[in-house]
Chains A and B, each alone.
Chain A
Amino acid sequence: MTAAVTATAIRVSDLNYTYPDGTVALEHVSFEIEKGESVALVGPNGAGKSTLLLHLNGILHSKKSRGAVEILGETVDPKKVHEMPKKIGIVFQDPDDMLFMPLLCDDVAFGPINLGVEKVDVKQRVKDSLERVGLAGYENRVSHHLSGGEKKRAAIATVLSMEPEIIAMDEPTANLDPKSRAELIEILRTLKSEGKTLIIITHDVNAIPELADRVIVLHKTVVADGTTREVFSDTETLLAAGLEVPTIMQFFEVLQAFGYPCNVLPLSIEGAVSNLTQTIENGDGHIHLHIHEHTHIEVDLARSKYQHHHHAARMQDIHSGPGTGAAH
């Protein structure tokens, strides 16, 4: 990345939005995203995540939102939405909404043509963008005949071809089979390593450690904002927002109950591998697990910590008087 004159990619300050029917969608939303940062935007259904995304390039706007969003140092002007793709590209949740042209190459060329890019360059961009999402040679395919995974990747290509500085995506890994999901994560990781600023809406908590350095929890307003580890350590806030932590993290907490020494819970498989390696090296080639009289209670505690129905029940226990759970 170039040494930035304006290091801030996205600045949202006190953004409010109410739907025409009176439902409040966003309330006092404020955050800043630096250039080159990769941020996961999480939150329960109906938390206003997609609505927030549409504010970033001025498609959605209201009196209350005027001047609240700044992209690359410039305030978003709803009258100049068609100039925004140079700065920020948005990948919508449903690729059928994004692939509206007869052929895939038309869809990928649509953005650059609108931006006034020379024809020769447009052709090159179409080729490059399709290649980057693993759809080389798909130029003359009809988009409604593509598979779900291909459509998702094609939708990303239509944004890449505009070469925006920031890419915002709405649930890129949703509704995909494991292979397509893995392919998509790989594409996003490449974009991240290239230094693009990414803002990714997702419910896929297991993918977040691989994709994002930072997590913003949105529930009409910003509930939590911090590094991925910070946010995932704050179980109470996450559960209150109807979310969960990566499975690996839950599993290592269970391991802790079996006596596994672990101060910092790993968030991903990669983290787990290095954690295990470290522990085995420290333990002279072994890891030591055991079961003693309190183990099952600790395991139960670790398990129920992240389960929503258990959590609700536990909260009730706490409120209704001294429970039997805390036996040590």
Chain B
Amino acid sequence: MISEIDRYASLASPIHRWDPRFRLVSIFTLIFSVVLLYNLQLVVIGMISAIILVCISKIPFSFVLSRMKLVFIFVLPFFIIIPFTLTDTGLEIAHLGMVTVSYRGIESVEFAAMIVLKALTAVMLIFPMIGTSRMDITIKALEGLHLPNKLVQMFAFTYRYIFVLDDEFMRTDRALTSRGFKKRGDLYTLTTMSKAIAMLFVKSYERADRVFYAMRSKGYAGTVATLHEFHAGRQDWVNAAFVVGFALLLQVAATSDTFSATGGF
């Protein structure tokens, strides 16, 4: 099943009340700022800010963590790859069997931690960024931010039809199962699944045709407009100033000598 990131969009919190256009731009700036950092302490501070934002948004941490699991599994290997592929070990401290401990090695563990934390922070920030309003509102906010119309249409259609495709695949899957198909690790499973997926592509292609016909029948001539109107108030600007200010502060701090680049990389 497609997990719905906007499951908690109906909660009431300062972040939910924040004009989605401002929220998108501000938190996106913060994500960028954290990703550009090269100092572990500052990344930790960024992570704390992400946790605070999630707290304010009232989105349950269990929900956030369960969605972050996959990202964590993906970035975890850095802890192994970076320290154990170090060629220039520098000053060595001890030898434990096949493993050599060195200062440079410890630094590289810190470096790996920084990369992992950065990734996790960026993903965590996505929840207050787009998990606090319904996806359709977020898409309209993109339209309100004057993103290229074609891009907005792509987002909108992806969101609209991903559920339809998901259902369609689920039906295919059930049809396979009900006729005795079992997923195994063999070639037969692989060919069957790839045929099913290929059929899904063909079906999507045909559906795309029909949707396009429907759009043309309703006078579509290239652009999509909606009636939604956003009204920004003072609080929206204050929130934006706060988050963007913090993002900039992180960058200013990164240039000072107190927070030098972690690991000397």
Contact = CB atoms under 8 A, between A and B. Distances in A.
B207 A97 contact: yes
A111 B160 CA distance: 18
Interface in B79-114: none
Main secondary structure of the interface of A (DSSP, over half): helix
Contacts of B135: 102
A103 B139 CA distance: 11
Contacts of A114: 218-221
A92 B221 contact: no
Contact of B217 (A90, A109, A115): A90
A304 B22 CA distance: 71
Contacts of B215: 100, 110
A54 B214 CA distance: 10
Interface residues of A, number: 37
A39 to B, nearest CB: 19
Nearest to A113: B225
A100 B160 contact: yes
Contacts of B134: 142
Interface string B10-50: 00000000000000000000000000000000000000000
Contacts of A143: 160
A14 interface: no
Contacts of A84: 217, 219
B139 A54 contact: no
A153 B61 CA distance: 40
B136 interface: yes
B171 to A, nearest CB: 13
B216 interface: yes
B200 interface: no
B217 A59 contact: yes
Nearest to B208: A97
Nearest to B164: A96
A209 interface: no
Contacts of A122: 227
Contacts of A184: none
A267 interface: no
A162 B217 CA distance: 10
B226 A85 contact: no
Interface of A: 54, 57, 59, 81-85, 89-90, 92, 94, 96-98, 100-103, 105-106, 109-111, 113-115, 119, 122-123, 126, 142-144, 158-159, 162
10 contacts: A59-B216, A82-B220, A90-B217, A100-B161, A101-B224, A103-B136, A106-B136, A106-B227, A111-B219, A159-B218
